[in-house]
Chain A
Amino acid sequence: MAVNAADAAVHTAASGTTKWSRAWQSHAPGYLFLLPWFIGFFGLTIGPIISSFYLSFTDFDLLTSPEWVGTANYVRMFTADRAFAQSMQVTFTFVLFSVPLKLAFALAIAILLNRGMKGLPLYRAVFYLPSLLGASVAIAILWRQIFAGDGLVNQFLANFGIDGPSWISNPRYSLWTLIILSVWQFGSPMIIFLAGLRQIPQDMYEAASLDGASKWRQFWKITLPLLTPVVFFNAIIQTIEAFKSFTPAFIISNGTGSPINSTLFYTLYLYNEAFSYFRMGYASALAWFLLLLIGCFTAFSFLTSKYWVHYDD
């Protein structure tokens, strides 16, 4: 509908000669094609961001209208809320371990596969499959079983006479089961690394080996520097994904972050504040703080990137 109007605009404008109609002719189709996106951008993104900023300074339970409380929500977050501090610690631990491990596996396997291995498509498919399925509830259910007290891991350990704990319900290990789940999904960064590796010109390696550089040296002096843009991209995407992770922790801990809040991801805490306790104002403050965190992280990465990311142009 909007688009037919775009065509019509072009045709009618062609006969008009005023400045305005010429401007209309050249700009209108673009805006009309973007119309759905504009409605979504303002109505579902920008509007809500502003509105949630306002809500973060209020008490709001969804039923009565929001009541202004100034910075009380933020003050409470940083001074009186142990669960908030705990959820920050859990989330940062998760990000700090899962992202580097995932990227390391992805890069190692990609490099191995890139040496013209036979059966590359098959290996690639096998490694990619978990990252396609990993976000699903079914996999979280499977993970609960694997790391349960009578689960697979302990059945395996029993063969060596080791009596393993219930990994899921032990606060010392529960977060690690989620980190392993995340690392298991290294397939999609691996695919991106593979595409990046393929763009490195082969003659660089040939020249290097003629100069007597070992494979190890070639990796550090050629592969890694030329791959830094891809490393950078993967690191940013995976970090943001890790910050936003929700489903596995929800399913594995029955939505509570148990045992003793050891898997209380930030997103899980926010969800419970909003939709279990209906503290929408406080949850909005949590959401804005998350936005700030991700914003700072992204800005910091881009600012420091010029010192370690190698761009050839």
Chain B
Amino acid sequence: MTIDAHKLTVVTGAENDPAARLRKRVFSVLAHALLIGASILMLYPLLWLLAASFKPENEIFMSGIWPSISWDIESYFRGWNAMRVSFSVFFMNSFVIAFLCVVGNLIACSMAAYAFARLQFKGRNFWFAMMLMTLMLPGQVTLIPQYVLFRDLGWVNTILPLVAPKFLAVDAFFVFLMVQFFRGIPRELDEAAMMDGAGPWRIYWKIMLPLSIPVLVTAAIFTFIWTWDDFFAPLIYLNRMQDYTVMLGLRTFVDSTGESDFGGLFAMSVLSIVPIFVFFLLFQRLLIEGIATTGMKR
């Protein structure tokens, strides 16, 4: 009550005082100017890359910092086939790996999250704490023994070392994200289903998953983007050019022709981030909400 009254006076006070209104206007204009300036600074490198990829090779560095727009797609054709193996192969490899990682993460992480969020079993809190600890773990500590393990399994130079771990819920971040989401689903729903004789598998499959589409989509997109971007694991496990991902292909491009064919390099760089950009455009809100919830207390 009292607070409402205060609000009223504050609001009306500001409305009636022309000096305060002016101050607010000035502040707002300044803030927008600042934000627009910052936005331009943030986007400028990306826009420059895009513009440079559409320029004839000899004009890239002559055009100054505000390159004029031209639509010469020559660099794209040249870059695509610049190496022994074309980028079609790299893109195909990257898509297959990313797709399988998405499937693995969705299945394994949601199962683990369901157990942590809903099922009662001995040691649940202990294992949950363990899972959270792995979030902090630097991957380098497990790197060498994992490499030895995968080598002994004969998995080096296959996509299995990149994909198989995802089916074992090693991405604790997504388990955590899903646990938080599952906890928000009303328990009455599973209790009612349990009354009707549904077991945990039915509840997981028929109730939890259908109600969790937003978090599943978020996890799928982040998995796709991070796998797509991943450079370290492919660098270690994939040594034959026909197995390379797009990121490895780009790196080889830099090493082999990079200094002589900037146009092709920039064109392929642009293409390599197009899938991420498309996901960003389509699912921006989900991604931002996904990031936002990780920082909140449960």
Q: Which A residues lie at the B interface, using CB under 8 A?
A: 3-4, 6-7, 10-11, 26-31, 33-34, 36-37, 39-41, 43-45, 47-49, 51-52, 55, 62, 109, 112-113, 115, 117-119, 123-130, 132-133, 135-139, 141-143, 145-146, 150, 152, 155-156, 184, 188, 191-192, 194-196, 199, 203, 206-207, 209-210, 229-230, 233-234, 240, 243-244, 246-247, 250-251, 254, 267, 270-271, 274-275, 280, 283-284, 286-288, 290-291, 294-295, 298
Residues in A whose Cβ lies below 8 Å from that of B76: none
With A52-B142, A188-B291 as given contacts, are A136 and B201 in contact (CB-CB < 8 Å)? no
Q: Is the CB of A43 within 8 A of B199?
A: no
Q: How far is the CA of A296 from the CA of B108 in the complex (A)?
A: 31
Residue of A nearest to B143 (CB): A287
CB distance from B21 to the nearest CB of A (A): 15
Q: Which residues of A contact B61 (CB under 8 A)?
A: 150
CB atoms of B111 and A291 under 8 A apart: no
- CA–CA, A155 and B45, complex, Å: 13
The chain B residue sitting closest to A54, CB to CB, is B145
Contacts of A6 in B (CB 8 A): 199-201
Q: B237: shortest Cβ distance to chain A, in Å? A: 11
Q: Which residues of B contact A129 (CB under 8 A)?
A: 42-43, 46, 277, 280
B49 at the binding interface (Cβ < 8 Å) = yes
| Shortest 6 CB-CB contacts between residues of A and residues of B | A40-B168, A30-B121, A192-B295, A48-B145, A138-B269, A195-B292
Q: Bound complex: CA of A272 vs CA of B96, how far in Å?
A: 28
Residue in A28, A127, A132, A137 whose beta carbon sits within 8 Å of that of B272 in the complex: A137
Residue pair B295, A44 in contact (C-beta under 8 Å): no
Q: How far is the CA of A204 from the CA of B165 in the complex (A)?
A: 48
Of A127, A133, A234, A275, most buried by chain B (CB within 10 Å of CB) is: A133
Minimum distance in angstroms from B246 CB to a CB of chain A: 8
Q: From residue B5, how far is it (CB to closest CB) to chain A in Å? A: 11
Interface size class of B (residues with CB under 8 A): 35 or more
11 further A-B contacts with Cβ under 8 Å, apart from A192-B292, A199-B296, are A33-B200, A37-B131, A43-B149, A48-B144, A128-B284, A129-B277, A130-B46, A146-B48, A156-B65, A191-B291, A210-B6
CB-CB under 8 A from A45, the residues of chain B are: 134, 137, 142, 170
Which residue of chain B lies nearest to A142 when distances are taken between CB atoms in the complex? B49
B297 lies within 8 A of A229 (CB):
yes
- What are 19 A-B contacts defined by CB distance under 8 Å? A6-B199, A7-B201, A34-B127, A37-B175, A44-B142, A44-B149, A62-B151, A117-B31, A124-B288, A125-B284, A137-B231, A142-B48, A195-B295, A206-B10, A280-B144, A283-B144, A287-B138, A287-B141, A294-B138
* A234 interface neighbour in B38, B254, B287, B295, Cβ under 8 Å: B295
Whether B130 contacts A41 by the Cβ 8 Å rule is: yes
Q: For A141, list chain B residues within 8 Å (CB).
A: 250, 254, 258, 265-266, 269
Q: B167: nearest residue on chain A (CB-CB)?
A: A36
Residues of B within 8 A of A136 (CB): 229, 247, 272-273, 276
Q: Give the residue of A41, A113, A145, A288 whose beta carbon is less than 8 angstroms from that of B35.
A: A113
Q: How far is the CA of A129 from the CA of B44 in the complex (A)?
A: 12
The reply to whether A127 and B42 contact each other, CB–CB distance below 8 Å, is yes
**Does B241 sit at the interface, judged by CB under 8 A?**
no
For B112, give its contact among A33, A126, A130, A291 (CB under 8 Å): A33
* Contacting residues, chain B, for A233 (C-beta < 8 A): 295
Q: B139-165: which residues lie under 8 A (CB-CB) from chain A?
A: 139-146, 148-149, 151, 165
Which of A43, A206, A287 has a CB less than 8 Å from the CB of B140?
A: A287
Contact of A127 among B38, B108, B225, B236 (CB under 8 A): B38
B146 close to A117 (CB less than 8 A): no
Contact in complex: A251, B35 (CB < 8 Å): no
Bound-complex Cα distance A152 to B47 (A): 12
Q: B282-298: contact bitstring with A at CB < 8 Å (1 yes, 0 no)?
A: 00100110011111110
Contact of B46 among A28, A44, A133, A283 (CB under 8 A): A133
Determine the chain A residues whose CB is within 8 A of the CB of B262 once the complex forms: 145
The complex places the Cα of A135 from the Cα of B222 at a distance, in Å, of 13
Question: How distant is the Cα of A232 from the Cα of B201 in the complex, in angstroms?
Answer: 38
Q: Please measure, in the bound complex, the distance between the C-alpha atom of A78 and the C-alpha atom of B101, giving whole angstroms.
A: 40
B35–A132 CB distance below 8 A = no
Q: Which residue of B lies closest to A181 (CB)?
A: B45
0/1 string, B228-239, CB within 8 A of A gives 1: 010110001000
Question: How far apart sit A40 and B142, CA to CA, in the bound complex (Å)?
Answer: 12
